Amino acid sequence: MNPFFPSSWLGILGGGQLGRYFSQAAQDLGYSVCVLDPDEDSPAGKIAQNFIRADYLDKVALAEFAKTCVAASTEFENVPAKVLDWLIEQNVYVAPVSRPVSIAQNRTAEKEFLSNCSKKTGIQTAPYCIITSTQDCKNIAGDMFPAILKTTRLGYDGKGQKTIKEPNDLENAWFDLGQVECILEKKLDLAFEVSAIVARSFDNEVAIFPVAQNKHRNGILHLSIVPAPSLSESQEKEILEATKTIIRELDYVGVLCVEYFVLGDGTLIVNEIAPRPHNSGHHTLDSCFTSQFEQQVRTLARLPLGKTDLIQPVVMLNLLGDIWFDDNNQLIQPEWDKVLSIPSAKLHLYGKTEPKLARKMGHINFLAENIESAMSDATLAMEILGIPKE
């Protein structure tokens, strides 16, 4: 396959912050960008050369999108997979294609795929059961508890899931989630979580970023730390090799995130995949030779992949809409001048006009000579912005 050279038109389905960073990376390389998204206030739509405001299944809009773009990708996994198939029929180059996206859209399919991969990677998933009926709820063995019940579709950032302490709680929790198909995952003795972001080109070239150690609050990513301070050298090597195997087994072209749990006894567990750039990879905008978004552009344009070397240790702090509100729930402006007085701070805001509680509004990357210094600066910024330490 020949590359698509600048100033070809590249398309992105989805107009959130991931689409915005894709657009910026593509424009930096000289490409034109077309965004399709239903939100008139989409962050990516504001900066793209062409913004089509429409539903992802709008036939007229899709026809315009296909006519404009030589290649297209997605910014989040819930774009209908059949849209990708239709674009291919219109001779648009699509990466990733619908099969890996469909697997990531369904936790059952995802768990089955990762379980099959474990034969090659040696890394298992957490024990799980599929729940589709009240009878299923009654048949689960007691040693599966405590557990987490998750809807098989559309759950993210802690949404669509409930913690189940004992068998008697399961049926009511399933009813609360709408009696849709769910997966029950056994809770394990988790020490910490990490993520690996990897890119694969059409000709099977693979490039992987350093592993990030992640901390969450209320199911939403709070901090990412690179290099992962609690990960041993042998664990990191095992994760990197497993992630390369997973992206190849998925036959995936593009940027993929694979999340892992590290248990108290050091055992590695593969948790889930995200078929797109990932929040935990936002640090790459400043900390790596090539960002995850430039890498996404390269895979879509069929260009060689970029280097993924870490330039400096980094801590990434997520910024939620909460910091735009005071104790009386009145709208305020965060003190960005004080934040930017921290020499290591690189502020990124996503262009969202309306702050909301728990809404991702931006992030700050803190780059320093070592993780301790970067974490100290991140803690100082949290104090300035009124973000609780714990």
pLDDT grade for 104, boundaries at 50, 70 and 90: confident
Question: How confident is the model over 105-140, as pLDDT tens digits?
Answer: 899 999 999 999 999 999 999 999 999 999 999 889
229-235, Cβ contacts within 8 angstroms, sequence gap of 24 or more: 229/371, 230/191, 230/192, 230/262, 231/194, 231/262, 232/266, 235/262, 235/266, 235/268
Tell me the torsion sign for CA atoms 314, 315, 318, 323.
negative
Give yes or no for residue 255 having a pLDDT over 70.
Answer: yes
pLDDT band at 81 (very low <50, low <70, confident <90, very high): confident
Q: Is the pLDDT of residue 390 over 80?
A: no
Query: What confidence score (pLDDT) does residue 168 get?
Result: 86
User: What is the DSSP secondary structure assignment for residue 179, as one 8-state letter?
Assistant: S
Per-residue pLDDT tens over the stretch 137-187: 988 988 899 999 999 887 665 567 889 988 888 988 999 888 899 999 999
Structure tokens given for 137: 């709820």
Whether residue 367 has pLDDT greater than 90: yes
Q: What pLDDT score was predicted for residue 11?
A: 98
Residue 104 phi/psi, 5-degree rounding, is -70, -20
Under the banding of pLDDT at 50, 70 and 90, the label for residue 77 is: confident
pLDDT at 153: 83
Tell me: the pLDDT tens digits for 49-67?
999 999 999 999 999 999 9
Flag whether pLDDT at 7 surpasses 60.
yes
The pLDDT value given to residue 303 = 98
pLDDT at 156: 60
C-alpha distance from residue 217 to each of 97, 319, 349, 372, 388 (Å): 32, 12, 20, 21, 11
Write the DSSP symbol of residue 137. Answer: H
Q: Helix (H) and strand (E) counts for the chain?
A: 12, 18
Residues 6+ apart with CB under 8 A from 174: 131, 134, 137, 149, 182
Q: Which helix (H) or strand (E) holds 170?
A: helix 170-176
Q: What are phi and psi of 176, to 5 degrees?
A: -65, -30
Q: Which residues share a beta bridge with 345?
A: 366
Helix, strand, coil % in the chain, rounded to nearest 5: 35, 30, 40
Residue 346 to residues 19, 216, 261, 289, 374, Cα–Cα distance (Å)? 20, 21, 28, 16, 11
Q: Which range, of 13-22, 77-86, 266-275, averages the lowest pLDDT?
A: 77-86
Contacts of 72 (CB under 8 A, 6+ apart): 10, 11, 12, 13, 65, 84, 87, 92, 93, 94, 300
- Residue 271 scores a pLDDT above 90: yes
- Beta carbons within 10 angstroms of residue 289's beta carbon: 12
| Mean of per-residue pLDDT scores for the chain | 95
Q: Which domains does the chain carry? A: 9-94 (3.40.50.20), 127-186 (3.30.1490.20), 190-385 (3.30.470.20)
